Structure 1
Amino acid sequence: MQDREVVEQVRPAAEVMNNRITDVLGRDIATGALAPGTRLTLVGLQESFGVSRTVIRDCMQILEALNLVYSKRRIGIVVQEPSRWNVYDPRIIRWRLSGPGRNEQFESLTELRIAVEPLAAAGAARRASQDQRQRLLQLACRMREQAADPEAFLAADIEFHTLLLDASGNEMFASLGGVVSEVLSGRSRQNLMPEGGPRPEALDEHEAIAAAVAQADPAAARARTADLLLEVEDAILRRHQEPAL
């Protein structure tokens, strides 16, 4: 029994260490601090982080699964070109949004949302369950109520958009829930939300989307979602074009 308790205590600590090292290396790769073609070694990483080779090997397996690196005999561990990365993975999105290329990443992700979410909203208007329709209405209402509380508003916003994707009935759209969550969280982390809280127009659009889904009106759901996202795109482009002070 004591041995089991020791194992249970050690496991979380090991997971925290693995996550920390993976985050550091993943962020360095995703932000360009470790350029494509950079060669790494288990020994060098082990010395740099002061951990065992087993820990480093576990972290490399995670990064390999994300296609951020690959291993080659007699060469070592090599950083991959961005074209090989699993760019839809929420971890890579989060790391890219933390670096100098965040503007381009926000733009490409917003374009993805513009392409997908209006169709997902139309699908939700056709296929959502009654519970899902009711929940979207509740979330739109909660977003207005929590507009002055950034954390509560963000939680409701994330749930609204991930539910919209899930309620579409399209498993491909539903699988992008983590992507959208990272985009919305990233805007908050990078202080890209409008000053003074959400714009009234955005709150209106969320309520209109929820109402269109609840009323089983695919055309209205698609149009209102497109309007919302085009406003988001305009806001992001304007923010990125503002001169540095």
Structure 2
Amino acid sequence: MIRWRGASDAYFTQQRELLELRLGIEPVAATLTADRGGPAADAVLVAAREMVEAVGRGDGHAYLEADVRFHRALLTGSGNTVFAHFAHTVEALLRTRTSESRDTITRWTAEAAARHEAVGRAVVDREARLASDAAAALVRTTRDEFVAEAR
């Protein structure tokens, strides 16, 4: 459904709406993952660091795959089954963005990778409030960049 809608005139609306939904979910998932700690929290940071490395190599494919792993680990690490199911939606959204020529936020930047890494560090350090704030900043910045570019 996301890929189909992403190929239609509703593309920009879908992107914005899903970013707004993620803004409500991912900060809570970050809090829960930080509270639980363990291997899932470690996976969040590992994926974020892989994103940083991919930017350094200019490897957009590796960045995307690490980005997908990051969000999957963040959402499944929450221990909330509904959030874990939402990881599939986020993955579809990320993959749609890479194949959609109308998109304006497919650039893999060091700044975006650093925002992911900030979430990962806070999660691993079990700093739930910091993890929530970093996750909110990550999604909010992406949303704001997208909305500004889509105009």
**2: CA distance, partners of 1:109 / 1:133:** 24
Cα displacement string for residues 5-60 of structure 1 (whole angstroms, at most 9, x for unaligned residues): xxxxxxxxxxxxxxxxxxxxxxxxxxxxxxxxxxxxxxxxxxxxxxxxxxxxxxxx
Does the alignment pair 1:221 with 2:131? Answer: yes
The answer to which structure, 1 or 2, has the higher relative contact order (CA under 8 A, 6+ apart) is 2
Answer yes or no: is the 8 Å Cα contact 1:125–1:213 preserved in 2: yes
Cα displacement string for residues 125-167 of structure 1 (whole angstroms, at most 9, x for unaligned residues): 00132x2222222111110111211111100000100110000
Question: Which protein has the bigger helix share?
Answer: 2
Does the alignment pair 1:144 with 2:52? Answer: yes
Q: Which runs of 5 or more structure 2 residues have no equivalent in the other structure?
A: none
Query: What count of residue pairs does the alignment treat as equivalent?
Result: 148
| Counterpart amino acid of residue 101 in structure 1 | A
Identity among equivalent positions (%) equals 32
Does the alignment pair 1:203 with 2:113? Answer: yes
Higher-Rg structure is 1
Matching residue of 2:27: 118
Shift of 1:199: 2.6
TM-score between both structures, scaled by the size of structure 2 = 0.92
Q: Which runs of 5 or more structure 1 residues have no equivalent in the other structure?
A: 1-91
Listed as ranges, the matches of 1:35-46 within 5 Å are: none
How big is the alpha-carbon RMSD for the aligned residues of Structure 1 and Structure 2? 1.4
Matching residue of 2:15: 106
**2: CA distance, partners of 1:119 / 1:188:** 26
Question: Which protein has the bigger strand share?
Answer: 1
**2: CA distance, partners of 1:190 / 1:153:** 17
